[in-house]
Amino acid sequence: MRRSYFRILATQVELKRVVGRVEAFCLANRLPEAASNLMNLALDEVLSNIQKYGYEAAEGGPIEVELTYSNNKLTAAVSDRGGAFNPLELELPAVTGPLQSRKEGGLGILFLKTLLDSVVYERIGGQNKITLVVELPSDNGREGA
């Protein structure tokens, strides 16, 4: 199993650094660019929501991210100390019908549930933890480490 751990503050400036971290991790593990791009999109959604809604202070609170690659799975575990919030319990938005009749929000959660292989939320020791998984085909030239 290969791991990378980093901690950022829930600020827009800090969130921008995550893309490079994910790309470097995937490159070091010779993972396909598509996996890196998908994980970066998912992390952007999760981290942006933490930054916007998770902390009341303008300077943002800490966010911990652990990337792992094992058994052909790229996983990101994201933890924050914001208020308890399980995004997976939100009602999924309507995606049909006139735009004017649709409720705002929820598309990011729909995106996560649709495009990722697994999304799990837990509340552990006063922290929110969301785990995102992208499964890679076993024929991607890598052995599950």
Rounded-to-integer distance, Cα 18 and Cα 67, Å: 11
Is residue 121 very low, low, confident or very high in pLDDT (cuts 50, 70, 90)?
very high
Q: Where are the alpha helices (DSSP H) in 6-116?
A: 12-28, 33-49, 107-115
Q: How far apart are CA 122 and CA 131, in angstroms?
A: 9
Domain residue ranges of the chain, discontinuous segments joined by +: 2-135
Q: How confident is the model at residue 124 (pLDDT cuts 50, 70, 90)?
A: very high
pLDDT for the residue 96: 53
Q: How far apart are CA 35 and CA 29, in angstroms?
A: 11
The per-residue pLDDT for 99 is 45
Domain 2-135 adopts which CATH fold?
Answer: Heat Shock Protein 90 (3.30.565)
- Alpha-carbon dihedral of residues 111, 54, 84, 69, nearest 10 degrees? 50
144: pLDDT confidence band, cut at 50, 70 and 90? very low
Residue-level pLDDT at 85: 83
| Amino acid 103: pLDDT | 53
pLDDT digits (tens, 9 = 90+) for 71-120: 999 999 999 999 888 877 866 545 455 545 545 555 567 778 889 999 99
| Helix%, strand%, coil% for the chain, nearest 5 | 35, 30, 35
Q: Residue 122 corresponds to which tokens in the numbers above?
A: 């837990």
**Tens of pLDDT, residues 11-68:** 888 988 999 999 999 999 999 999 999 999 999 999 998 988 888 766 679 999 999 9
